[in-house]
């Protein structure tokens, strides 16, 4: 798994990687555009919404939601991803934070209509992921929803296959 420096190095070519692998229907980004459209469509039915994005990357999805007048709060541990995202969403609340440490203190008392995370939470172990998602529930408005899109496998064995 990449650390924050690995993602810093990937940031400039990230969008090209996504486009290339999505077009070729290859791991890990096969289906990327369909997934983003599904999340975008779900949120836009309730726009304008307060959104928290976990692991925003280059903000491919979040910047579209930002442009559509939703209120964006986002976190990511890569300073280079953050620079790119900030250039697309200058008024968004972007936090540099490692989600292995749980919820950032800056989000205490904030509530969101949608918490989204795409291609990011697989960086957590299963145990930490469960605790993290449970903690996210405390940041939801009463009718709020968590929308997660990520790589997944039918079994542990499939995960181990090359
Ligand atoms: C594969 S990219 C996905 C970016 C974007 N959500 C998308 O769907 O295109 C994963 C993102 O999660 C961030 N990330 C990975 N592990 C993280 C962690 N422990 N804490 C915060 N951000 C993390 C990386 O910096 C990167 O920007």
User: 14-58 pLDDT, tens per residue?
Assistant: 999 999 999 999 999 999 999 999 999 999 999 999 999 999 999
Among 9, 20, 77, name the best residue to mutate to test ligand 1's pocket (greatest count of ligand atoms within 8 A of Cβ): 77
DSSP reduced 3-state for 128: helix
Give the model's pLDDT for residue 16. Answer: 96
Q: How many Å separate Cα 80 from the centre of its chain? A: 15
* Mean pLDDT, the chain, whole residue set: 95
- Distance, CA 103 to ligand 1 centroid (Å)? 15
* Peptide bond between residue 14 and the one before it cis (omega within 30 degrees of 0): no
Model confidence at 9: pLDDT above 80:
yes
Residue 24, domain CATH: 3.40.50.150
What is the domain count for the chain? 1
Nearest C-alpha neighbor of 86 from the set 129, 57, 48, 116: 57
- Among residues 108, 82, 116, 107, the alpha carbon closest in space to that of 96 is found at 82
pLDDT value for 155: 87
Q: Could you tell me if 116 and 54 are in contact, meaning their C-beta atoms sit under 8 angstroms apart? A: yes
Domain that holds residue 126: 4-160
The preferred substitution site among 28, 53, 57 for testing ligand 1, maximizing ligand atoms within 8 Å of CB, is 57
Query: 87 C-alpha vs ligand 1 centroid, how far in Å?
Result: 17
Task: Say what the pLDDT of residue 162 is.
Answer: 58
Higher pLDDT, 158 or 133: 133
| pLDDT at residue number 161 | 64
What is the atom index within ligand 1 of the atom nearest the CA of 28? Answer: 1
pTM for the whole thing? Answer: 0.95
């Amino acid at each position: 798994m990449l650390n924050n420096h690995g993602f810093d190095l990937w940031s400039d070519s990230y969008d090209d990687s996504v486009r290339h692998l999505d077009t070729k229907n290859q791991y890990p980004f096969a289906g990327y555009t369909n997934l983003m459209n599904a999340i975008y469509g779900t949120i836009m039915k309730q726009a304008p919404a307060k959104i928290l994005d976990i692991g925003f990357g280059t903000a491919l999805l979040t910047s579209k939601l930002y442009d559509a007048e939703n209120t964006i709060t986002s976190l990511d541990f890569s300073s280079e991803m953050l620079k790119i995202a900030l250039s697309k969403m200058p008024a968004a609340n972007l936090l540099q934070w490692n989600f292995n440490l749980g919820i950032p203190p800056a989000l205490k008392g904030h509530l969101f209509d949608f918490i989204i995370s795409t291609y990011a939470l697989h960086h957590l172990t299963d145990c930490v992921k469960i605790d993290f998602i449970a903690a996210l529930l405390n940041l939801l408005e009463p009718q709020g929803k968590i929308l997660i899109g990520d790589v997944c496998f039918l079994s542990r064995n499939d995960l181990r296959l090359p």
